[in-house]
Amino acid sequence: MKNLRFACIGCGEMGALHVLNAKAIPGVEVVAYADVRPGQAEKFLEQYGGDYATTDPARIFADPRIDGVLIQTGPKHHPALGIAAAKAGKHIFMEKPVALTVEDALELERAVAASGVRFLVGFCNRLAPAVVRAKRLVPKPWITVGQCADSIVHQACHNLDLIVHCFHEAPLVSVYASGGTYYGLEADAHLPADSFIATLGFADGSQASYVQHGKGYNALMGKYSFQLFGKDRCAYIAKRFKECHLSTGLGGVDHSHVFTGPDFSPTDAAKHEQNVRGPHGYMGHFEELAALCASIRDGSEPPMTIAHGRHVLQVEAAIMASLSTKAVIDYPAFLSKWKTPQPAKAARAAVSAS
């Protein structure tokens, strides 16, 4: 089996994590590094090994020995780099968010479709062991309640992806949100809010309630948490997706089905040594790269597609529209202005990939 040869574009925090994860996947190499910051790609070359480093991603795209690219530069640069990679015939892993606007995401989507390359967006949490477990325990929640601390642009996309492409399988039909600007985060990207509460309604009558609350932290709940309420049970994904608890009692808490995912702290060198699933092994980062490589090898569609990356931006746009107008958004009518289908079958793909 020929090795898959990747190049890392964007040698920052996530670049390091994905390069380490790639090293843990059999038959995968990272051979080149690009970063616009002078000296940054060289640092990666020195640290992780490979053939060359450059400040010019075009050198990577022109290199016929490279099969695919790991792009994690931040959403302002993702669309242009992704389009260039697709035109060059390189398979693409791209960190979330794929873009800052639906229009830019659509342009990227068209380039990916025209090229036929495999594209996986880094909605890693869908493959996180605790999330996969919760989805199995409560496959069709009546109500989902989620929360996340941090910025809308960088974090809401992960959790909205889980809600609309994993936990709830029926199409999204209504969106209502209220909130405000309390922290002044990322004012260039997502006004009119940096915190919101959203209620999402689905065609089967199920609902999700989601709180995105800017800077804040709850040591007990973790940066993200979700509760999935089913007929006779509730699954609780806690502590940044390290744990999945199940309660089947009414009023009482039943911890008899506790799953604790592996914890590979990026600051614990000893754990790295023993780690066969890369850093942050509990969050699905290793699984997402492995899934992309499997798709490249067998030609199948990866579980998290460019359509999912674009669709989450449309859900965010509906939330922002509801915040501005204070109205319930009729989601199918809202979507019709872009004439794009809702992606389907994501949840089943994610579960079977686990």
Ligand X SMILES: NC(=O)c1ccc[n+]([C@@H]2O[C@H](COP(=O)([O-])OP(=O)(O)OC[C@H]3O[C@@H](n4cnc5c(N)ncnc54)[C@H](O)[C@@H]3O)[C@@H](O)[C@H]2O)c1
Smallest Cα–Cα separation from 80: which of 93, 98, 68? 98
For residue 36, state whether it binds ligand X (rule: CB under 6 A): yes
Specify the pairing of strand 259-260 against strand 329-330: unpaired
For residue 92, state whether it binds ligand X (rule: CB under 6 A): no
Pick the piece of the chain touching ligand X (CB under 6 A) from 6-14, 24-32, 135-143, 180-188.
6-14
Give strand pairing partners of 9.
34, 71
We find the least distance from the C-beta atom of residue 102 to ligand X, in angstroms, to be: 17
We find the least distance from the C-beta atom of residue 11 to ligand X, in angstroms, to be: 5
Smallest Cα–Cα separation from 92: which of 67, 123, 127, 126? 67
Is residue 259 exposed (0-12), middle (13-18) or buried (19+ Cβ within 10 Å)? middle
Q: Which of 4, 25, 32, 40 binds ligand X (CB under 6 A)?
A: 40
For residue 82, state whether it binds ligand X (rule: CB under 6 A): no
Q: Which of 3, 23, 27, 37 binds ligand X (CB under 6 A)?
A: 37
- Provide the CB-side half-sphere exposure for 307 (13 A, CA): 15
For residue 10, state whether it binds ligand X (rule: CB under 6 A): yes
- Looking only at Cα atoms, what is the longest distance across the chain? 61
We find the least distance from the C-beta atom of residue 157 to ligand X, in angstroms, to be: 8
75 or 222: CB nearest ligand X: 75
- Record the tokens describing residue 137, joined without a space: 């325990």
Question: Do 284 and 93 meet the contact criterion of CB atoms below 8 Å apart?
Answer: no
Q: In this chain, which residue has its C-beta nearest to ligand X?
A: 12
Pick the piece of the chain touching ligand X (CB under 6 A) from 36-44, 129-137, 258-266, 315-323.
36-44
For residue 57, state whether it binds ligand X (rule: CB under 6 A): yes
- The set of residues, in sequence order, having a beta carbon less than 8 Å from that of 217 and lying 6+ positions away, is 149, 223
Residue 195, phi then psi, degrees to nearest 5: -145, 140
Q: Which of 48, 51, 74, 145 binds ligand X (CB under 6 A)?
A: 74
Window 241-280: residues binding ligand X (CB under 6 A): none
DSSP characters over 31-91? EEEE-SSTTHHHHHHHHH--SEEES-HHHHHT-TT--EEEE-S-TTTHHHHHHHHHHTT-E
150 or 169: CB nearest ligand X: 150
Q: Which of 13, 188, 273, 298 binds ligand X (CB under 6 A)?
A: 13
We find the least distance from the C-beta atom of residue 174 to ligand X, in angstroms, to be: 28
Window 135-154: residues binding ligand X (CB under 6 A): 154
256 or 267: CB nearest ligand X: 267
For residue 287, state whether it binds ligand X (rule: CB under 6 A): no
For residue 35, state whether it binds ligand X (rule: CB under 6 A): yes
54 or 314: CB nearest ligand X: 54
- Record the tokens describing residue 40, joined without a space: 């940054």
Site string for ligand X, 103-122 (x = CB under 6 A): -------------------x
Q: How far is CA 187 from CA 151, 270, 318, 324, in A?
A: 11, 40, 18, 15
We find the least distance from the C-beta atom of residue 45 to ligand X, in angstroms, to be: 14
For residue 72, state whether it binds ligand X (rule: CB under 6 A): yes
- Count of residues near ligand X by CB under 6 A: 23
Smallest Cα–Cα separation from 106: which of 353, 338, 300? 338
Smallest Cα–Cα separation from 4: which of 69, 83, 53? 69
Q: Which of 21, 54, 73, 275 binds ligand X (CB under 6 A)?
A: 73
For residue 59, state whether it binds ligand X (rule: CB under 6 A): no
Say how far residue 244 (Cα) sits from the centre of its chain. Answer: 19
Binding residues for ligand X, rule: CB under 6 A, are 9-15, 34-37, 40, 57, 72-75, 77, 95-96, 122, 124, 154
